[in-house]
Amino acid sequence: MSSGEVSRVQVVKASMILTARNFFADPQWVIPSIIAPFVFTLVSLFLFSHVNGPILLYAVLGGGMMGMWGTTVYGSGSSIGFDRWNGTLECTLSAPTPLMWIVLGRVIWNTLEGSINALFILAIGFLWFRVGIGIADPGLFAISTIITFLSLSAFGLLLANIVVLSRKGGFLTNGIEIPVYIATGTMFPIGLLPFFVQGFSFALGPTWGIDAIRKAAIAGYTGLPVSIYVDLLVTVLATVVYMALSAYFFTKVEKIAKRNGTLGDY
């Protein structure tokens, strides 16, 4: 590993630590990042509470994904806005490290935070709603979860480009939270969606990731008409595309932002 690569790893690590400290230092972030996604999921679980077995496990896994995605999109929308609110955006952009690596650390922490939220949701499902804890293939389940986690982080990084130039970026990213819940099939199969919406669903890496998670967890689950390995392959390819687009757009957006010099204006 070269010195440049080591430096970037250190930047991502430092950014994650600082974001975590800011999160725990300011309790207001608990409401949109943990409580709100959990409440949405809890309502969904109550709707399925009269059934058991695979259907309830389907809902629990979807609820966990809702928690991960909700935290990721909210964190992406506020990653740059937090600097703007505190007057540190100009200092962040003037640092020798490219902005992408700083934001990547923030997005990874937000997705990790969402993963913790997802585990909490799974625990509630197992303990409160008495969902069976058997996982059909624990190995593939763990791999699918990790790959989906990375895909969400990459997608969040791509969304973070919006808020660098737009002071309304946070509203835009928050506005797509519910549509992505629906498009990725967190609570019901995407086959129930209109045909023109399904194309958007298939373009999202998390759609394939959650399908892989369910196939690994629920014995006999069919989902999308492909194997779990195809699901994982598409999720990985989507993650690579998200990262490549993020790197390209961050380079362009950062140049425009520095040239205009109006980032601190409201």
Residue written as token pair 């380079």? 251
Note the helical H segments in 79-137: 81-86, 89-94, 99-127
Residue 111 has which token pair?
A: 């997705």
- Burial class for 165, CB neighbours closer than 10 Å (0-12, 13-18, 19+): middle
In contact, 70 and 180? CB cutoff 8 Å: no
State how far the Cα of 16 lies from the Cα of 106, in Å rounded to an integer: 5
Across 50-54, 56-60, 70-74, 88-92, least confident range: 50-54
Q: Which residues contact 2 (CB under 8 A, 6 or more apart)?
A: none
What is the mean predicted confidence (pLDDT) over 69-75?
73
Confidence of residue 212 (pLDDT cuts 50, 70, 90): very high
pTM: 0.82
What is the C-alpha to C-alpha distance for residues 266 and 157, in angstroms, rounded to an integer? 23
In terms of residues, how long is the chain?
Answer: 266
Cα gap 205→144, rounded to integer Å:
12
Q: How far is CA 177 from the centre of its chain?
A: 10
**Locus of tokens 């946070």:** 170
Work out the average pLDDT over 74-86: 72
Position 219 pLDDT exceeds 90: no
Is the pLDDT at 14 greater than 80, yes or no? yes
Query: Which positions ≥6 away from 93 have C-beta within 8 Å?
Result: 99, 254, 257, 258, 263
What gap in Å lies between CA 227 and CA 41, rounded to an integer?
A: 27
Angstrom distance (rounded) from CA 52 to CA 45? 11
CB burial readout 245-257, b (16+ within 10 A) else e:
ebeebbeebbeeb
Look at residue 51 in the predicted model and tell me its pLDDT: 64
